[in-house]
């Protein structure tokens, strides 16, 4: 698309079109989440700029602790910024080098 075809003011005329842009292609580092270590505070969910943490319903047991859900990451859209790993209070998310 040439710049001449862009809408005036750069307006977004089609809501939701970002679903077609798989921002995971840019990633150099990938977050790896350890659901055994996670305390379900949801800070990663709140801070992720891509909003790609999903809450997966279902009992999840670790030793004598039990949770009603676990978390997953949609790697199609995770751009590897590392904010989630930085914000996680218990170090349950590690950034590892992406291998493609
Ligand atoms: S690395 Fe960035 S984009 Fe990916 S899950 Fe973490 S906060 Fe979201
Ligand atoms: S920030 Fe860490 S402890 Fe909190 S929900 Fe995310 S992975 Fe789990």
pLDDT of residue 70: 97
Segment 24-48 mean pLDDT: 96
Asked if pLDDT for residue 77 goes beyond 80, the answer is yes
| Rounded Cα distance, 35 and 41, in Å | 12
Percent helix, strand, coil in the chain (nearest 5)?
25, 30, 45
Instruction: Supply the DSSP symbol for 6.
Output: S
- Best mutation site among 23, 81, 94, 95 for ligand 1 pocket (most ligand atoms within 8 Å of CB): 81
Residue range 43-67: mean pLDDT, rounded: 96
* The listed CATH number (3.30.70.3270, 1.20.120.80, 3.30.930.10, 3.40.50.2300) that belongs to domain 30-100: 3.30.70.3270
For residue 53, the surrounding DSSP H or E stretch is strand 53-62
- pLDDT reported for residue 25: 87
Closest atom of ligand 1 relative to the 51 alpha carbon: 8
Atom of ligand 1 at shortest range from CA of 93: 6
pLDDT value at 23 more than 90 = no
Q: What are the residues whose beta carbons fall under 8 Å from the beta carbon of 27, sequence distance 6 or more?
A: 75, 78, 79, 80, 98
CB-defined site of ligand 1, < 6 Å: 31, 48-50, 52, 73, 78-84
């Amino acid at each position: 698309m040439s710049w001449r075809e862009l809408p005036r003011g750069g307006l977004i005329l089609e809501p939701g079109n970002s679903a077609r842009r798989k921002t995971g292609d840019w990633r150099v580092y990938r977050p790896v989440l350890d659901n055994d270590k996670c305390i379900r505070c949801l800070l990663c969910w709140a801070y992720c700029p891509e909003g790609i943490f999903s809450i997966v319903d279902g009992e999840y047991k670790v030793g004598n602790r039990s949770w009603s859900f676990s978390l997953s990451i949609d790697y199609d859209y995770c751009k590897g910024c590392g904010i989630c790993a930085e914000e996680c209070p218990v170090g349950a998310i590690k950034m590892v080098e992406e291998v493609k």
